[in-house]
Structure formats: structure tokens, C-alpha cells
Amino acid sequence: MEDSESVDFDINKENFSWNELENFKFDKIKYAIKNLEEGYFDLNEDEIKKVIGNLKLDKRKNVRSLSSSFYKFILNKNSEISRVRKMYEFDKSFGNHIYTAGVDEVGRGPLAGPIAAGAVILNLNYNEDRELILGIKDSKKLTPKRRCELAKVIKERALAYNIAVINNIEIDKRGISWCNNEVLKRAVEGLKLPVTMALSDGYAVKNLSTNNEFVIKGDTKSASIAAASIIAKVYRDSLMEEYSHLYTNYKFEQNSGYGTKDHIESIKKYGICKIHRVSFLKNIL
């Protein structure tokens, strides 16, 4: 844990040197490593070897232990870059399209709330690894905090993104299958760039006004689909949290409208609210 001294530590002013670690306290060395990790993309292989080598030679056990943690960080970062790079390359493999969009939906199965879809166009022709959006994957495999962090980065770096929503009234009227396809279609066609290829998760999008390829388990293979999955999930979860303040009996902030045991018990006790999907509740009411 860093103290106030390490927080104010300026490596340049202190003339910090990896060749003279014995002149610096553990917390300052740890802080220097943190700075290296934050500037990962500016490191070269020789610098990494030098840091790890000098850490290993230090007489202090806690300093030597930093060599293992830093080496593990480098391995994990390299592995993550390789993983995400493959996801970008996967998207590029569908042809030389200027604008390829990934699209995915969230909220097909809940008993309440809308269905939402995200569509994202990433810069697949990036120049450096630092331009990759690391961490993207199936949104369900991310913590809520990490999803929110990534959603912010995706929106900042994407060439374009769009979120479409269809509410519970239209779901009851049209049926979930029609709404599922329609919300994906609206998400893609609402993008402000001319999409020439849309990659969808699991199945094709009917009546889409562009080329479309579906990808089984797309949110684990495609960078664009994974990004779309994340922004859609964050948007819908946030919306359901807002609804939880209006309809306080159903714990929407916890279940996002899905049919958890507590949610079903609340429906039986309090009845339904304005955002429930009546067509989904025939076996409950």
C-alpha cells in the first residue's frame, strides 16, 4: 500500500535509476513499477529485461518479489494484446470493407423492461497496438464495473456507435422474435456511417440493408460484436436501475428484469408494473 510519500514521488526529480535500487525505499520502487505498467506501450524489450534483472538482484526479499509480479504483468499484457488483436483480425477477415459494424442485443429473456441492441464500428485498420481496446469480450463475463469502464472507452474510440431500444409494450404486441430482429436492425441502420458489413451474434439479421454475416459465439470472436454487447448491456442495466427507483418492489437494480426467485415472488405479491412484459407472465400470474 502506498503512503503519501510515494504518491508525491517524482521519478525524474529523484533521479530514479534501476541500476541503483538500493538507494530507494520499497514503496518508491513499487511506485516506479506502477508508472512503467501505465506506460507499457512505450517500453521496449531491453528496458523490461533490465528492470526485471535489477529487481532480482536486490538484497530485499520484498523488492525481489516485484520482479515476479512485473514479469507476470508483462506476460498478461502481451497475451491480452494477442487475444484482442485476433478479434480485430477476425472482423477484417470478412472482406476489405471500409465500415464493418458489430451488433448484439441484450434483454431478450427478462420479464420486464426493454430489449436493447448496440452497434459499433471500430477502427479495424489501426496502426499500433495501443489503439486496440483491450479487455473486450462477452459482456456477461465482465464485472459491472469493468463493463462500465470499457463502455466509456468504446464510445470514445469507436468510429461510430448506436443503441436501439424496443419497449415491453411493443414486445407484447409484436412478439419477442420480431422485436429481437428489429432492434438489431435499428441499431445498425441508426449508425451515422455507411455500413458495408454487419457482423451479428448467433444468427442473421433479416431485412438488413447491408451485407450481413452471423457469427456463432460472436462476442468471443469478434471485436466489433463484443464492443456492441458491452455498450448494450451497460445501457440496459443503467436503464433498469433507473426504473428501480420508480418501481421499488421488484429490485430491478439487482435482477435487471430477469425472472429471479425474488422477482417472481414480488410479482405474485404486488402484481405487475408498467414495464412488465405481460406476454412473458402467463405461467406466473
Cβ neighbours of 67 (radius 10 Å): 18
Residue 62 phi, psi (nearest 5): -70, -30
The answer to whether 42 is annotated as binding is no
The reply to whether 201 sits in an annotated binding site is yes
- Give, in order, the Cα–Cα distances in Å from 95 to each of 89, 143, 196, 229: 11, 33, 10, 22
pTM across the whole model: 0.90
- 128 annotated as ligand-binding: no
The answer to whether the beta carbons of residues 150 and 130 sit under 8 Å apart is no
Q: Which domains does the chain have, with CATH numbers?
A: 4-86 (no CATH), 100-236 (3.30.420.10)
Q: 110-129: per-residue pLDDT in tens?
A: 999 999 999 999 999 999 99
User: H-helix or E-strand containing 223?
Assistant: helix 223-246
**pLDDT surpasses 70 at 66:** yes
DSSP tag of 204: P
Q: Tell me the longest C-alpha to C-alpha distance in the chain.
A: 73
- pLDDT tens per residue across span 167-186: 999 999 999 999 999 999 99
Reply yes or no on whether the pLDDT at 10 is more than 50.
yes
- Once rounded to an integer, what is the mean pLDDT over residues 264-269? 96
Kindly list the distances between the CA atom of residue 14 and the CA atoms of 5, 28, 38, in Å, as whole numbers in the listed order. 12, 10, 19
From residue 58, how far is each of 20, 49, 151, 157 by CA, in Å?
9, 15, 41, 41
